[in-house]
Amino acid sequence: MANELAHSKSPYLLQHANNPVNWKPWSDDIFELAKRENKMIFISIGYAACHWCHVMEKESFTNNDIAGLINKHFIPVKIDREERPDVDQIYMNAVQIMTGQGGWPLSCFALPDGTPFFGGTYFPPKEFEGILQSLVATWLKESHRILEAARQVKEGLVKTDIIKGDVINNNKPDDAYLHEFINSWEFQFDSYWGGNSGSPKFPLPASLSFLLNYGMRYKASNITEHVRLTLERMIQGGIHDHIGGGFARYATDKKWRVPHFEKMLYDNGQILNLLADFYKFEPSEIIEEAITNTAGFLKQNMLAENHGFYSSWDADSEGEEGKFYVWTIDEIRNHLGQNADLFIEYYNIQKAGNWENGKNILYTETPLAAVCKNHNINPTEGKKIIKDALQTLKQVRSNRVKPALDNKQLASWNAMAIEGLLNSFQALNKNEWLTIAQNAGDFLIKHAISENGSIIRNCRKDEHAIPGLLEEYAFTIRTMVKLFETTADDKWLKTTKKLLSYTRKNFKDPDSAMFFQAEKQNTPLGMRKMEIMDNVIPSANSVMAQNLYLFSVLDETPDYQEQSLQMLRNMKSKIQHKGPFFSNWMQLWLWFVNPPFEIVVSGTQARLKAEKLQQYYLPALLLVWKNHESDLPVFKNRYAPDETRIFICRNNICQKPLTIVGDVLESMGISPDNH
């Protein structure tokens, strides 16, 4: 018999709908039930593409003995962390306080009022059953021990993720701290494989974006070289799907070879954005191909008929991790025939397998030209052989059972994908990507954004809709500005203003100028948190602080920049020298230290000249254009009917207007011959 999750629309929750565990979805009702029956709450959190979530379900949640124990003594609650990252944050923080580590599946036990007291991540079935029995015995005979543990955890939770306003430090950010931050981080760099030293290796697009910006602004070639090395190693590695495009969530090894095979929209949208930035900085064939393949993956596998993007592809298919992606050497030989030898050497295919059970993950290390030389093949011919072989294997792979698709459509993740496609359009001028991005922007306006400026996180305006968190507002605002920059359509700017006004009214903490993760009325357990640490997805507060800085220039609203600066001051004591985990904050620090340019293009040929400029990686905050007069503050007194003029400004103070794109580039220290 199905449990209550059968009524859910979350693919992750539906995966557990037929478990013998009497799962309930997260709601206020569970606390009333737990109090009435005097039962502990067991909270299990995961997501649809999570391999170890599947393992724990198979081992424990389909086990009738374990299910019976849970159902008798606990109120079991299943949560999709992608739908409710605010709830996940509370219980993840609790587990980290208790154990020093976290991850998914997250397993947390709580009092009837939801206060956590014990937890961990994945538990093998025997250990898990023992934990359940021990907790039941303690609850029945020594409940005071559990109550004391809950009290201590709650004390720790109250102190986490809340930033107080810094009223003492009124100094503006300086160069010295910025360079000190970089110097301390450099010791973590992996000088051969890229990224940070050790394993596992996660793509961290926001941190690489900051490093690229810093390296370009301060002409630090060692830093930009590290970014190039990291991107190329990622593209060559198994974390990159050489056949179907896109990137897996992370690599389990230090060489980017063995992926954790799930593919997430937020990863691929952000990586696409970063690749486009680097191509603008230093064009190369390997980066161009990665952009094209990643955009192709998003279009072919993540784009819905309603023009929004789905959330993820599972790590597993047919119950096996990575089965869809890996190959035996015999399969390669059978499908590629006489061209197999070149492919086998280039992609490191081994008879015994380069992974598990005789299976091979595709990754490259030796340049194709060198491999072609070993086989007495012309490099041009070799490149065609590899390209045709990949197409052949893609066709073969299309007949395999595909990994499950999580068809949730999350507003913030869609915004990240749109931004990546827009930047890719700017870099490579492929109009199809602009069309997809604009349609996806319209999807957000239609399905996620309300007239009053509020956002629905899961893009469903029905009884299953989940109120947006700060993440939704931060990334959607940033993407709407990018849509305005790219298209000059005022509707995107109008939407931005509406969202920004709503966010400041409903999320801002008046005491610190920071933003809470959720609106007051939507705060779980009454614990109003702030998301401040940059990770694979940069913190919503750091993105909002950047949005305020940007919009203060775009709309000439100085109080926005004052709030942005106050937020940055608040964070200085937290940042210290923690490398990538505050890199998006340091991006903002860089803006205050070395203010970027604002570029305004006005006149009948504005679009043509703006698109040419957007092909370069510029030390600019924004680049906006209009081919007609506009009443926007940034265009005031900058339109002439008979000529197209380009204004280079800083803090709304502009140089004499220029008319030639090359002159504009040279004035910013960019070589027009770079492309």
- Residue where one domain finishes, among candidates 531, 560, 593: 593
Coil, strand or helix: which one is 1?
A: coil
Residue 662 domain flag: yes
Please tell me the distance from the alpha carbon of residue 342 to that of residue 383, in angstroms, as a whole number.
10
Look up residue 261 and give its two tokens. Answer: 């095979």
pLDDT digits 0-9 by tens, 259-311: 999 999 999 999 999 999 999 999 999 999 999 999 999 999 999 999 999 99
What is the per-residue pLDDT for 577?
A: 65
Other CB atoms closer than 10 Å to residue 341's CB: what's the count? Answer: 16
**If you count them, how many residues does the chain have?**
675
Domain limit, last residue, from 159, 193, 223: 159
The maximal CA–CA distance of the chain, rounded, in angstroms, is 87
| Tokens matching residue 575 | 């940042």
Token pair 């220039």: residue: 553
Alpha helices in 198-299 (DSSP H): 205-217, 221-236, 265-281, 285-297
154 and 49 inside one domain: yes
Ramachandran class of 131: left when φ > 0, alpha when ψ lies in -120 to 50, beta otherwise: alpha
- Compute the chain's Rg from CA coordinates: 26
Q: Is 288 exposed, middle or buried (0-12, 13-18, 19+ CB in 10 A)?
A: middle
pLDDT value of residue 521? 87
Q: Do 602 and 589 fall within a single domain? A: no
For 326, other C-beta atoms within 10 Å of its C-beta total 21
Residue 331: which domain range?
Answer: 325-399
Q: Is residue 168 part of a domain?
A: no
Structural domain contains residue 524: yes
Bridge partners of 247?
Answer: 240
Element (H, E) at 153: helix 143-159
Q: Residues near 293 by Cβ (< 8 Å), separated by ≥ 6? A: 241, 244, 245, 246
| Upstream peptide bond of 205 is cis (omega within 30 degrees of 0) | no
Instruction: Give the CA count within 13 Å in the CB-facing half-sphere of 361.
Output: 24
Q: Name the domain count of the chain.
A: 4
Please name which of 231, 213, 310 lies closest in space to residue 269, comparing C-alpha atoms.
Answer: 310
pLDDT of residue 159: 75
- How high is the pLDDT of residue 461? 67
Both 271 and 187 in a single domain? yes
Separation of alpha carbons 81 and 45, rounded Å? 6
Residue 638 in contact with residue 627, Cβ under 8 Å? no
- Same domain assignment for residues 411 and 394: no
SS3 18: coil
Predicted confidence (pLDDT) per residue in 222-266, tens digit: 999 999 999 999 999 999 999 999 999 999 999 999 999 999 999
Say if CB 376 and CB 419 are below 8 A apart. Answer: no
The tens digit of pLDDT for each residue in 466-490 reads: 999 999 999 999 999 999 999 999 9
Are 434 and 563 members of one domain? yes
- Residue 166 inside a domain? The answer is no
Q: Do 388 and 422 fall into the same domain? A: no
> Helix (H, G, I), strand (E, B), or coil: what is residue 141?
helix
15 within 8 A of 34, measured Cβ to Cβ: no
Same domain, 119 and 203: no
99 located within any domain: yes
Boundary of a domain, candidates 593, 611, 643: 593
The three-state DSSP-derived secondary structure of 369-431 is HHHHHHCCCCHHHHHHHHHHHHHHHHHHHCCCCCCCEECCCCHHHHHHHHHHHHHHHHHHCCH
Is there a single domain that holds both residue 204 and residue 123? no
Who's near 443: CB < 8 A, 6+ residues apart?
306, 307, 308, 409, 414, 459
Does 306 lie in the same domain as 331? no
For the chain, how far is it from start to end, CA to CA, in angstroms?
A: 62
How far is residue 610 CA from its own chain's centroid? Answer: 28
C-beta of residue 540 within 8 angstroms of C-beta of residue 474: yes
Helix, strand or coil, per DSSP, at residue 483: helix
pLDDT of residue 168: 55
Strands 405-406, 312-313: parallel, antiparallel or unpaired by DSSP? antiparallel
Beta carbons of 407 and 261 less than 8 angstroms apart: no
Look at residue 257 and tell me if it is in a domain. Answer: yes
Q: Is residue 492 in a domain?
A: yes
Angle value at C-alpha 190, between 188 and 192, nearest 5 degrees: 160
How far apart are alpha carbons 226 and 191 in whole angstroms?
Answer: 7
Can you give the pLDDT at residue 664? 95
Q: Are 650 and 550 members of one domain?
A: no
Distances (CA, A) of 200 to 197, 252, 283, 622: 9, 4, 29, 35
User: What distance in Å separates the CA atoms of residue 238 and residue 246, rounded to the nearest whole number?
Assistant: 11
Kindly state whether residues 234 and 307 are assigned to the same domain.
Answer: yes
Residues in the chain where the model's pLDDT stays below 70: 161, 166-170, 461-463, 577
Same domain, residue pair 489 and 571: yes
Instruction: Let me know if residue 364 belongs to a domain.
Output: yes
CATH number at residue 247: 1.50.10.10
